[in-house]
Amino acid sequence: MPITPATAANSQSNGTSPAILLELVDEQGHTIGTAEKLSAHRAPGRLHRAFSVFLFDEQGRLLLQRRALNKYHSPGVWSNTCCGHPYPGEAPFAAAARRTYEELGVSPSLLAEAGTVRYNHPDPASGLVEQEYNHLFVGMVQSALRPDPEEVGETAFVTPDELTELRGRATFSAWFMTVLDAARPAVKELTGPSSGW
């Protein structure tokens, strides 16, 4: 596996997995330091930079993913197309495009900024806390998906009505509705008034 500069900088010499660092931020989104990923998510949580991606097909359906069962945080729940954390110093846009490809094996044909949202969502199942300053992105996907099974358990393209039905019978990530609601103005602009988003 190629080692990216961020991974190489955090590698440990004893052969264990490298520490993954997140960028800590203040309430205005200014960088104030770094923290190891798991420690940043332990209660009460430390405010850190994150991103959320919402990709749509040409029919205006939203691409959802069900997180792989082996994920330590929120395993097996449905969520938006892709979400994650930039490496320290990595632009959120670059991180969003990178992780979308790493998780789903596809590059968006269009990706645009859709604002930011700050939230604090405890996850009762794991005891971890999502204390995030989240950069939102919306876009289009036109290529066939090749999901990484280590990251993604399942994918689905849904209309607004299908999303409502799925939410009635499946578990979603604690942050899903917060980020979707915050991205709605950009989603409506992208998909058009007739899509129902």
Q: Which DSSP state fits 89?
A: T
- Does residue 90 carry a catalytic annotation? no
Catalytic, out of 23, 83, 103, 130: 83
Task: State how far the alpha carbon of 56 is from the alpha carbons of 106, 138, 166, 195, in Å.
Answer: 13, 8, 17, 11
- Does residue 82 carry a catalytic annotation? no
CA distance 83 to 134: 9
Catalytic, out of 103, 130, 132, 151: 132
In the block, which residue shows the tokens 């490809």?
101
- For 25, half-sphere exposure in the C-beta direction (CA atoms, 13 angstrom radius) is 22
In the block, which residue shows the tokens 């988003």?
197
Catalytic residue numbers read 83, 132
